[in-house]
Amino acid sequence: MYPELRDSGVIVTNPSGIFSVPMAEHTMGMLIALARNFPDSVRYQDRAHWSQQDLWDNYPLTELNGKLLLIVGFGSIGHELARRAKAFDMRVWGVSRSGKGDATLAEKIVPIAQLREVLPHADYVVISAPETPETRHLIGAPELALMKPSARLVNVARGSLLDHSALIAALQQKKLAGAAFDVTDPEPLPADHPLWRAPNLFLTPHTSAISDRLWPRQTALLLDLLESWFNGRELFNLVNLHRGY
């Protein structure tokens, strides 16, 4: 959000909401994949190896029900994820900038200032917050150290929100059970980047928002905004130019 745009007086809207459903479904897939260790199952399949004991020896296969999911960034994506997680009987806590959100979808919603207080309780942590100067390396070595050794971390926001070096160290030292990313920093991820070889890490190439239904949703949103503009109605999805999203 560069200064010239902030000072221009131009009204800016965003496509908030159109990516929420596919991203929530993608994230649920990642949670299931981590709990049931699908990535290693596929790797062993490629080697024609019957891996039942190997999978159990790596990290015991577990279930999602009853586990605490902490959603860091409890906006439209977080809300859609919470709906699906509750269908799996997961407990849901949310973290938002203000500490507000749909209380029917979460047992507890706390402001970002209390992130470190809630991290030790989580079995799964999902990062779905916006990228701003304040959220850079939102999860770093101090935050990772607060998480359970059995916890899993998922990032579907932006790569810059996570300190990758700290995450790799936590995985290598088995201070974290696993992680799944749909975003990295940089993108595309260079072939020699250590993330490719980090243990118990599942990567998808920034595909969580991609869907065959994306363009119809985006078209409908644009038409609604244009009709509101030409009819003098209040616009929605307005970008706060100073906050950056």
Identify the H or E element spanning 201: strand 201-203
Tell me whether residue 158 is one of the annotated catalytic residues. yes
Q: Is 219 exposed, middle or buried (0-12, 13-18, 19+ CB in 10 A)?
A: exposed
Query: How far apart are alpha carbons 103 and 235 in whole angstroms?
Result: 26
Query: How far apart are alpha carbons 202 and 180 in whole angstroms?
Result: 4
List 83, 193, 206, 217, catalytic entry? 206
List 79, 91, 97, 158, catalytic entry? 158
Sign of the Cα torsion 109, 183, 177, 46 reads positive
Tell me whether residue 136 is one of the annotated catalytic residues. no
Taking residue 27's Cβ as centre, other Cβ atoms within 10 Å add up to 28
Tell me whether residue 80 is one of the annotated catalytic residues. no
Dihedral through CA 70, CA 55, CA 170, CA 81, nearest 10?
-20
Query: By the 8 A CB rule, do 187 and 160 touch?
Result: no
List 187, 197, 213, 243, catalytic entry? 187
**Which residues are designated catalytic?**
158, 187, 206
